[in-house]
Chain A
Amino acid sequence: MAAGSPHRRAGQPITDPFATAWLVEDDPLRAIQVGGPLRSPPGTGFADGIQRWMVEGHFGLAPVVRAYVAAAVLTRRDGSLAMAAEEHEEFIVVPGERLTTEQRDALDRVGLPVYESDTSARVHPLVDQYAAARIVETRRETAERKAVRRFVDAEPTSWLVMDGSVGHLTGGPGAERVIGLVKSHETQYLEGADLLTALTLREGCRSSVFERSRAGGTPVYSWYLRLWPWTERDLLHGLTRLERWADRTTLEEATLVSRWMLGERAPISTPDASWDRLIYPIHHIETYLRARMGGWN
């Protein structure tokens, strides 16, 4: 059955393996001992989203994909996580150009929003599915963005840690309070000695801050942080990349923010396979959203 997320499986090619970085804090890149864990500020929010899709059927060769996305921001009070903002959407994705009017009408009668995916000139079922998955991913990002925006607007002093890149949140009101916690290292921005320094950081150390390239968007500052010792394990074990808006304060606060993230190592997010790079509140959002998804399990 064609279902699941478009996350890459081992052995599949990486679409964007390399990108560019400009050093902004030190040249060459340095490893900096941050000085042990600290409690994140009270009221900090944590954001993540989920997505699920499955091919429900076909009109001819055209796949009809039904999808569900959800996003949530949780905050922590006295150690317990509580819902602060939530978004979800269930919808249908089809290669619109290849459907007849009758087929479109039939879909509209289902009562769910219908999104159209890109169509290539020649038909390829896997490419069609991939195109649908891209739409699903965009919808999830939209849901996340909405939930995060609601939280940032409602809590004008709270920090927010989101799963993945800060991306589009580098501008606009509240951007200074948003931290991206990236755990996949598909795209490498550094090279040479800088890359060596970044990928061999010791536990509790961060790299100098650099600016990473971002296609068509505002600039983003980023740095690496090692949460758990990696020796005798994988090079990437416990390695995270943090992101914030491109501002002088990001340089000033990189050590502090790194210490907050070290403070979030416990409790660990097992049984999640990427527990070494995941913090518990974000792991919990996924559990929470998946539980609320009901029949989509």
Chain B
Amino acid sequence: MVATELLPSSPYQFHFWTATDATIGIGAIVRVDDGAGRIVHAVIVDGRAYSDLPTPLHEVVAAEGNPAAQPPPTRRVEIRLWTAAVLRQEPPEPVQPVPLATVHLATESDVEIALRMDAYVRAEPSTAIPIGIYSAGGMRAPVYLDADFLLGPESAHLNINGVSGLATKTSAVLFLLSSIFAHFPRSKGQIAAVCFNVKGPDLTFLDQPAALTAADREMYAALGIPAEPFKAVRFYAPFKADGVNLNTLRSHPDLAGSVEPLVWGLREVLDFAEVLLNRDDIDAKADAFLDFLGDRVVGKTFRDEWGGQHRVESFAGLERLFRAIFDGLESAGGRDMWRTHHVATIRKVRNRLLNISTRCKGLVTDDDTAHDLPFGAFDDRALYVIDVAGVDQLGQDLVFTRVVSKLREHLERRDLGVDHVVVFVDELNKYAPADGPETYVRRMLLDISERGRYLGLVLFGAQQFRSQVHRRVVGNASTTIYGRMDSDELAMPGYQTISAATKSKLATLPKGELMVRHPHFAHPIFLKFPRPAALAGRQGIERFPPAPDVPFGEAVARQLRVLDRRIAASGVQDLIDGHREVDVRSALLATRRARPRDPLAFFAARLRPSIPRRTADGGDQSAVQPLKPVEDPYAP
């Protein structure tokens, strides 16, 4: 170790040199022991090498101006000078500069002490969650996070960032989830995870095994995590616009029946209709009208002033009510107020609501049949994947808001089925952007990031650029992981505390290596983690290529076959002939939800006899038609 007037050692930093061939580098943990009871652990944050050459000009002189001259017989003396940032000093008091003593590479037990992991690794029950392997100079040591600080109540949330494809963000989160499921102490309660699949097939094969290398398996063994895919995964996806084919890339016949439909009716949407509004809308008292609809209209018998009686259970019913209102106002000489609500507000709410039913056709049904996540019956250590990759942004926002709000509600009431839920949101920058208008989704994410830890609602967010996510959302994450980073991003003010050497390491970090910040670690630590044992989306669609969409009748038959393998397509086709698709869908959902002993009979019974009302082009007349005559003053 060296300390000079120009390079003094302080309580938080010191310098030392090594031979030029020493196998240490940025991120290596070292120990200084003064032999008199003071032990300091530190991590290398900077390194410099220089020779005794006073100015490069002297090298020119020596080579007589010829850059191609034979190299000189003697190499100049060279120094490797390292700067280390203190992780821990024992004893912690009084705070003193690091003593001048020999510097050693940390051993496995040093790593445990340096990162203050001893307190929770050795606790009973242990709250240690393995996150990866630290390695330097041929020594390897497991690194653990503290569940109390990762998943609450002390602190919570995790944020991971880094460039696409190379940062292994999604992989790291999946690995950590399997680690949590394997190590979260039973005494702390039950835990589940909800993942929103927003990118292609990313998270849709997590129940399938991935190919692992021997090195990966070794890491799993060293960390005490079974190298297996997730044991309990439930997949949810909305339908496509046809209302029977599921909107997911997990559609290979071998996996048939493994995806549950996610279908919401008016009731479910209306509760979270605020998502569909922006700030202007709220000023315009749209929320008051929404409340009115929710409290007085939907699911109740409602009489309008013009003698009409409505029982609104679906979007179609709602549309009939709106038409009655507009027609009534028209006949009353073009009045612009109805029951304290301005006609423009009514018109806007109508447009927003009916817009979602057309834009998210497969998610939102016209009728009252819904198929939802099992709120109230969540299973311990189960993973709930909601595939919204094929849904447009508005629909994603709606799914996201409703699911998270429901989780929150149930956790508050302690009746979700589990005590803790990790919500994994990829592309967090889309939902909680640093700038842009205030949205309901962003407000909700902020709320979770600030209060979630008391409820057991934990946010794992991933994005390419941390700087693009709302400061408080990332700021409230107790654990931050950095994969390979973009150098422009690293130049942003948010990364000022990271040394230049660490930044350059981050900018060239290989796949499978991460830098981790955690409340117990005084400085971020570099470590390696294995590939997830669950199949990644890209390999998944190669192994299970998506099946093409099938015609309506066949799709219905397939869904029913999930419940009873013997059901034949032809029989189903005969049954549904002459029925409106909307009724067929409704009967199908009801059957799926009820899981009756005789699905076909149940389905047939639910198919209410109806009079086919088909137009020449086969279009369904009951679908919502756009209102033409009056312009929407709030339309963008």
Contacts and interface: CB of A to CB of B under 8 A. Distances in A.
Interface of A: 39-40, 76, 79-81, 263-268, 270-271, 280-281, 284, 287
A287 B61 CA distance: 21
B62 interface: yes
Given A79-B73, A280-B72, A281-B74, A267 B59 contact: yes
Nearest to A79: B75
A270 B54 contact: yes
Contact of B62 (A79, A267, A281): A267
B61 A268 contact: yes
Nearest to B69: A266
Nearest to B61: A268
Nearest to B57: A270
**Majority SS at the chain B contact face:** loop
A3 B517 CA distance: 54
A287 B73 contact: no
B74 A267 contact: yes
Interface in B35-81: 52-55, 58-59, 61-63, 69, 71-77
Given A271-B54, A287-B52, A266 B62 contact: yes
B80 to A, nearest CB: 14
A238 B52 CA distance: 21
Interface string B142-171: 000000000000000000000000000000
Contacts of A268: 58, 61-62
Nearest to A279: B74
A273 to B, nearest CB: 12
A40 B74 CA distance: 11
Lowest 10 A-B CB distances belong to which pairs?
Answer: A266-B62, A266-B72, A79-B75, A268-B62, A270-B58, A271-B54, A267-B72, A280-B74, A270-B54, A267-B76
Interface string B225-258: 0000000000000000000000000000000000
A208 B75 CA distance: 32
Contacts of A287: 52, 77
19 contacts: A40-B73, A79-B71, A79-B74, A79-B75, A81-B77, A263-B73, A264-B74, A265-B62, A266-B62, A266-B69, A266-B73, A267-B59, A267-B62, A268-B58, A268-B61, A270-B53, A284-B74, A284-B77, A287-B52
A81 B54 contact: no
Interface in B75-128: 75-77
A281 to B, nearest CB: 6
Nearest to B72: A266
B53 A280 contact: no
A264 B52 contact: no
Nearest to B20: A80
Interface string B483-514: 00000000000000000000000000000000
Given A267-B76, A287-B52, 17 more contacts: A39-B73, A79-B73, A81-B74, A81-B77, A264-B74, A265-B62, A266-B62, A266-B73, A267-B53, A267-B59, A267-B72, A267-B74, A270-B55, A280-B72, A280-B76, A281-B74, A287-B77
B50 to A, nearest CB: 14
A193 B89 CA distance: 74
* Max chain B Cβ within 10 angstroms of own Cβ: one of A263, A270, A281: A270
A45 to B, nearest CB: 13
A270 B71 CA distance: 17
A63 to B, nearest CB: 32
B75 A80 contact: yes
Contacts of A265: 62
B179 to A, nearest CB: 46
A269 B407 CA distance: 73
Contacts of A271: 54
**Majority SS at the chain A contact face:** loop
Contacts of B74: 76, 79-81, 264, 267, 280-281, 284
A272 to B, nearest CB: 10
Nearest to B59: A267
A266 B67 CA distance: 13
A80 B76 CA distance: 8
Contacts of A281: 74
Nearest to B63: A266
* Max chain B Cβ within 10 angstroms of own Cβ: one of A39, A265, A267, A281: A267
A138 B62 CA distance: 34
* Max chain B Cβ within 10 angstroms of own Cβ: one of A40, A266, A270: A266
Contacts of A280: 72, 74, 76
Interface string B259-289: 0000000000000000000000000000000
A81 B74 CA distance: 7
Nearest to B74: A280
B263 to A, nearest CB: 74
Nearest to A263: B73
B369 to A, nearest CB: 80
Nearest to B51: A267
A82 to B, nearest CB: 11
Contacts of A267: 53, 58-59, 62, 72, 74-76
B559 to A, nearest CB: 74
Contacts of A284: 74, 77
A182 to B, nearest CB: 20
A287 B78 CA distance: 13
Nearest to B77: A284
Contacts of B72: 266-267, 280
Nearest to B62: A266
A76 to B, nearest CB: 6
Nearest to B75: A79
A280 B61 CA distance: 14
Contacts of B75: 79-80, 267
Contacts of B77: 81, 284, 287
Interface in B420-475: none
Contacts of A79: 71, 73-75
A136 B16 CA distance: 35
Contacts of B59: 267
Contacts of B71: 79
A76 B74 CA distance: 7
A266 B77 CA distance: 13
B41 to A, nearest CB: 28
Contacts of A270: 53-55, 58
Nearest to A40: B73
A39 to B, nearest CB: 6
A264 B73 contact: yes
A271 B58 CA distance: 9
* Max chain A Cβ within 10 angstroms of own Cβ: one of B61, B74, B77: B74
A164 to B, nearest CB: 20
Nearest to B78: A80
A265 B63 CA distance: 9
Contacts of A263: 73
Contacts of B69: 266
Nearest to A46: B74
A265 to B, nearest CB: 6
Contacts of A264: 73-74
Nearest to B71: A79
A267 B59 CA distance: 7
A187 B54 CA distance: 32
A126 B572 CA distance: 121
